[in-house]
Amino acid sequence: MDNMTIKEFSAKLSSSDPVPGGGGASALAGCLSAALCSMVASLTSGKKKYAQYQEDIEKILLRTAEITDDMRSLIRKDAECFEPLSKAYGIPKDTPGRDALLEDALRTAVSAPYEILRASCEILPLLSELSVKGSAIAVSDVGVAAAMCRAAAEGAVLNVYINTKLMKDRAYAENINKETADMAERCVSGCALIYSSVESRLKGENR
């Protein structure tokens, strides 16, 4: 998937193939969010007006490059992690050991969206910094990056829950659900605040 064009990826996404699906789309949203953060930082770097933030901007550039790569890898990982689950669903229900195989496959499948959510949370502090330290000419891009980050997080959450819902080990599932809910609350609310702040600035409400 790393070498697909946008046209090829969207065509694959719109087909009846199980992957890429919602998880891959969520990771792509996260990738776009991190890349936009990198763009804002690049537009800010070296500008005299923001010289006091130069060191912080350079750190942001390094971090956004890492997260962009991570999110891009997670598009592929989500597809790879779903494969065992897809195969497990195809095993006849009366086959000995099917339940154990399905449980293991569900744990594998949930790992990718969980990581997508965690990576989304790592974008949030960068968005907060850029909303203050980033070039004013790119403030709208900070808002778009916040929207993409929120989409990535919310999409990842649903892909976690669809897997934990089917797990027999309810203690394990509920633990994952709690961690997911806690991360999602922080990330989604944080992104919403940043988006709202950017929107207000663009409408002139903060003058």
Contact 110/176 with Cβ under 8 angstroms? yes
Answer whether 20's CB lies under 8 Å from 78's CB.
yes
Q: Is residue 5 part of a domain?
A: no
The confidence score (pLDDT) of residue 195 equals 98
Torsion of CA 181, 184, 189, 194, to 10 degrees: 170
Whole-model pTM: value is 0.93
Q: Is residue 13 part of a domain?
A: no
pLDDT in tens, 4-49: 899 999 999 999 887 889 999 999 999 999 999 999 999 999 999 9
Task: Reply yes or no on whether the pLDDT at 89 is more than 50.
Answer: yes
Q: How confident is the model at residue 90 (pLDDT cuts 50, 70, 90)?
A: confident
What domain range includes position 34?
19-200
What is the reported pLDDT for 94?
Answer: 86
76: left (phi over 0), alpha (psi -120 to 50) or beta: alpha
Find, among 148, 135, 173, the residue nearest to 44 by Cα: 135
Q: What is the pLDDT of residues 113-127, one digit of tens each?
A: 999 999 999 999 999
Give residue 207's pLDDT: 46
User: Is residue 170 included in any domain, yes or no?
Assistant: yes
Segment 78-106 mean pLDDT: 90
Q: What percent of the chain has pLDDT over 70?
A: 99
Q: Which residue has the tokens 């594998």?
A: 108
Tell me how many domains the chain contains.
Answer: 1
Assign residue 57 the CATH number of its domain.
Answer: 1.20.120.680
156 belongs to a structural domain: yes
Residue 206 counted as domain residue:
no
Give pLDDT, residue 206: 54
